[in-house]
Chain A
Amino acid sequence: EPYEINLMEELTLKGVTQYYAFVQERQKVHCLNTLFSKLQINQSIIFCNSTQRVELLAKKITELGYCCYYIHAKMAQAHRNRVFHDFRQGLCRNLVCSDLFTRGIDVQAVNVVINFDFPRMAETYLHRIGRSGRFGHLGIAINLITYEDRFDLHRIEKELGTEIKPIPKIIDPALYVANISGCSGEA
């Protein structure tokens, strides 16, 4: 039986409710801390735009008292694989990383994706937030947007034909917590 290794399924944003929060650069960690305390995170992936920022942010999150792994492109592949395997096993709730996912996130338990740094390219945004499979995935994506990111936000929205709304004070758990909505996590 031949083993198919590259199915190249379409990535979709279906089922993922996307929000943005306007924030100043120096307040980003405070904003992230606020999100951690407001959201019902099953598992989260947090994206940064450089390997240095990945390591710095992981250190900050750990200092705040949250469990957090990190992986980035400059780590040895074997080390990355081991950390990601442990994350997928659920050994840690939060993963900080740079752009490594080319076929979308295939970890069902991840119900929150945070762009701590907003990407420049629509393709990068799709690889970070998008899920493979026709039904997509129940979850939310939150984009931290600085003054400099505002044009990228609107351009990527247009390019992907998607909608990214201002983050509300309270986010309906049914949008991203599977057992509340009574469905198995498919949109």
Chain B
Amino acid sequence: SSANVSGPDAEDNLPEWAMENPSEVGGTFDASGAFHGESGDDEGHKIENQSRNQSD
């Protein structure tokens, strides 16, 4: 299912998250509901990944 975005300025109107490479390490949520993704600013404990291919 490739995204149908092409052309020279395609890169410009992509959302920021589309250009990020989501790190494998899970993030965490603090008491205010804020998400902390960088391991630098949170406990950054590794979340064991559930089985990834969940198609059953």
Interface residues of A (CB under 8 A from B): 19-23, 25-31, 33-34, 36-38, 41, 52-53, 55-56, 58-60, 62, 64-67, 70, 90-94, 145, 165-169
Q: How far is the CA of A167 from the CA of B32 in the complex (A)?
A: 8
Tier of interface size on chain B: 20 to 34
| A-B interface pairs (CB < 8 A), number | 106
Contact partners of A166 in chain B: CB under 8 A = 29, 31-33
Interface-central residue, B2, B27, B29, B34, by most chain A CB under 10 Å:
B29
Knowing A33-B22, A37-B26 are in contact, say whether A52-B35 is a contact too (CB < 8 A). Answer: no
On whether the beta carbons of A169 and B33 are closer than 8 Å, the reply is: no
On whether the beta carbons of B20 and A29 are closer than 8 Å, the reply is: yes
- DSSP class of B's interface residues: helix, strand, loop or mixed? loop
On whether the beta carbons of B33 and A67 are closer than 8 Å, the reply is: no
List the A residue with the shortest CB-CB distance to B28: A169
- From the candidates B3, B20, B29, B47, name the one contacting A52 in the complex (CB within 8 A): B3
Minimum CB–CB distance for A166 against chain B, Å: 3
- From the candidates B1, B16, B28, name the one contacting A34 in the complex (CB within 8 A): B28
Within 8 A of A (CB), among B1-37: 1-5, 14-20, 22-23, 26-29, 31-35, 37
On whether the beta carbons of B17 and A27 are closer than 8 Å, the reply is: yes
Knowing A23-B35, A67-B55 are in contact, say whether A37-B49 is a contact too (CB < 8 A). Answer: yes
